[in-house]
């Protein structure tokens, strides 16, 4: 079995979108998945591209992905990576591949001058929470996640 973790390329977007659909289904968020290959291409490869990603392949077939982008933790004065998504197909879990992907992200981040990786996990996803804690991640329960989206975003911008 050949396992490869590599940078996502433009030709990978169909496979990436398939994996994103699987992830949305796993998280019971299918109704919220609106992204298209065109929007992914613009965010990852267009002018002003700001999203990076890794693809996990097993024997040449896409089996997982991670999407991330830079941010700045102002109070700490640290450059960070925000891990937007990390997903492995069900059949790939429990084999060390999630750890391998996170280690690759951390190596790339550190080599790029970043000092931290931040992310969110759905409250009900206990296996993921335990997995991240086992790797040394800290859970910060002191903050709440907010967003302005849709009409709220448009109203704020008007």
Rounded mean pLDDT, 50-79: 97
The CATH number of 3-136, from 3.40.630.30, 2.30.110.10, 3.40.640.10, 3.30.420.40, is 3.40.630.30
Measured between alpha carbons, how far is 53 from 65 in angstroms, rounded to an integer?
Answer: 7
First CA to last CA across the chain, in angstroms?
54
Please, are residues 44 and 53 in contact by the beta-carbon 8 Å criterion? Answer: yes
pLDDT of res. 31: 95
Rounded mean pLDDT, 126-138: 95
Q: Give the three-state DSSP class for 99.
A: helix
Rounded mean pLDDT, 18-27: 97
Measured between alpha carbons, how far is 67 from 74 in angstroms, rounded to an integer?
Answer: 22
The CA distances from residue 50 to 46, 53, 75, 81, in Å, are 9, 10, 23, 11
Please identify every residue annotated as catalytic.
132
Percent of the chain with pLDDT over 90: 92
**What is the arrangement of strands in the sheet containing 61-73, beginning at the earlier edge strand?**
3-7, 52-58, 61-73, 78-88, 116-118
Measured between alpha carbons, how far is 101 from 36 in angstroms, rounded to an integer?
Answer: 24
Please, are residues 21 and 37 in contact by the beta-carbon 8 Å criterion? Answer: no
Task: Say whether pLDDT at 145 is over 90.
Answer: no
Rounded mean pLDDT, 13-33: 97
Measured between alpha carbons, how far is 45 from 63 in angstroms, rounded to an integer?
Answer: 22
Instruction: Tell me the two tokens of residue 79.
Output: 């450059």
H or E segment at 42?
Answer: helix 37-45
Task: Say whether pLDDT at 1 is over 90.
Answer: no
The string of pLDDT tens digits covering residues 71-129 is: 999 999 999 999 999 999 998 999 999 999 999 999 999 999 999 999 999 999 999 99
- The model's pTM is 0.93
The string of pLDDT tens digits covering residues 42-52 is: 999 999 999 99
């Amino acid at each position: 079995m050949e396992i490869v973790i590599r940078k996502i390329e433009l030709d990978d977007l169909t496979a990436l979108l398939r994996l994103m659909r699987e992830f949305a289904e796993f998280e019971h968020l299918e109704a919220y998945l609106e992204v298209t290959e065109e929007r992914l291409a613009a965010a990852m490869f267009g002018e002003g591209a700001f999203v990076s990603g890794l693809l996990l392949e097993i024997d040449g077939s896409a089996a997982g992905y991670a999407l991330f982008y830079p941010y700045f933790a102002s109070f700490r004065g640290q450059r960070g990576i925000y891990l937007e998504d990390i997903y492995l197909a069900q059949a790939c879990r429990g084999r060390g591949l999630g750890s391998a992907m996170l280690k690759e992200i951390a190596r790339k981040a550190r080599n790029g001058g970043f000092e931290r990786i931040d992310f969110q996990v759905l409250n009900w996803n206990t296996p993921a929470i335990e997995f991240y804690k086992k790797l040394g991640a800290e859970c910060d329960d002191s903050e709440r996640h907010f967003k302005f989206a849709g009409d709220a975003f448009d109203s704020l911008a008007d």
